[in-house]
Structure 1
């Protein structure tokens, strides 16, 4: 069973930056791009803070207001939170659980779509992957050019997160290129003898 990622990440930031406002937890996780690879959206981050406080894993350090800004709550990790965080990190580090790939369903349904449409979609997929890899490689260079100090820039380990995402995309890109070639050459033909009735536009 996987570790609740947003919960673990919120604990990590509270532990690293305590005492810390919820807004700063959110800002830090967005700088790690956790909204894309962990689906750590603002609502789930604030929800996690409330849950962690209710469970006694973090505690309110204080509530204050800075100028005209809205009132903010400051959090600190508790001893129970330290133990929970350590357990979660160890579980995550040793995990080999693979994410559920949303494209698996589409591949299983190739015969239900016209062959030409599948080919066009695969070609488009290749172009989008190539563009995304260019963007991610640029992001890695930008992050590594910074200090790596979390107080002023994205930590350098964020570049490793991006590299992991890029490697997954490269594997997907290689599969897509090979599948396109197999369909174009006739090696992969799920339409000739298919019992499916292709969808119509």
Structure 2
């Protein structure tokens, strides 16, 4: 069973920055772009903090208010949270599950769409992937140019997570380019096979 990513990442940031406010956990994960490469949605962070507290993995250090600002809760990892984090991290590190990408279904259904639509969609993906790679490469450079100290900037290991994401994007980009070439050359022609005509 896959490790719940949001739970693992929120525990990790509490452990890294404790004592820490929920707002700072959310901000830290956003600065890491974890919403992109780890699918940690910003809105899920507070719910995760509540669940972790309920489960005894984090505890409230203090609840305070600074002037007219809203009340803020500060969290710290418990001994049980430290143990759970270690177990979840080990399980995640040794996981070798292959991605179940929703686009795989689209590829299997190419014959049911007009060839022109498939080519247009592939070309659109190529442009998107090329743009994503420019952003990811620049972000890696920016992170590695910082101090790496998590109290000042994004830690260097975030650049490695982004590099893995970029490698997946590169693989998708190369597959998309190769598939366009194969369709244009006639090597991949699934539209002349028997079966229902493509949708209009």
Question: TM-score under structure 2 normalisation?
Answer: 0.96
Which residue is 2:127 aligned to?
Answer: 127
Q: Which runs of 5+ in 1 are unaligned?
A: none
Partner SS for 2:2 = coil
8 A contact 1:111–1:194 mirrored in 2: no
C-alpha separation in 2, matches of 1:120 and 1:59: 52
The Cα of 1:194 is off from its aligned counterpart by: 3.8
8 A contact 1:133–1:166 mirrored in 2: yes
Which residue is 1:156 aligned to?
Answer: 156
C-alpha separation in 2, matches of 1:17 and 1:29: 12
C-alpha separation in 2, matches of 1:131 and 1:152: 28
Q: Which runs of 5+ in 2 are unaligned?
A: none
RMSD of aligned alpha carbons = 1.1
Q: May I ask how many residue pairs the two structures share in their alignment? A: 200
Question: TM-score under structure 1 normalisation?
Answer: 0.96
The Cα of 1:179 is off from its aligned counterpart by: 1.0
Which residue is 2:68 aligned to?
Answer: 68
Which residue is 1:49 aligned to?
Answer: 49
Which residue is 1:16 aligned to?
Answer: 16
Which residue is 2:192 aligned to?
Answer: 192
C-alpha separation in 2, matches of 1:179 and 1:193: 18
Alignment of 1:133-172 (within 5 A): 133-172=133-172
C-alpha separation in 2, matches of 1:172 and 1:42: 26
After TM superposition, where is structure 1 displaced by more than 2 Å over at least 4 residues in a row? Answer: none
C-alpha separation in 2, matches of 1:187 and 1:134: 31
Which residue is 1:109 aligned to?
Answer: 109
The superposition leaves residues 128-156 of structure 1 with CA deviations (integer Å, 9 ceiling, x where unpaired) of: 11121111111111111111111111111
8 A contact 1:57–1:79 mirrored in 2: yes
8 A contact 1:59–1:76 mirrored in 2: yes
C-alpha separation in 2, matches of 1:36 and 1:154: 15
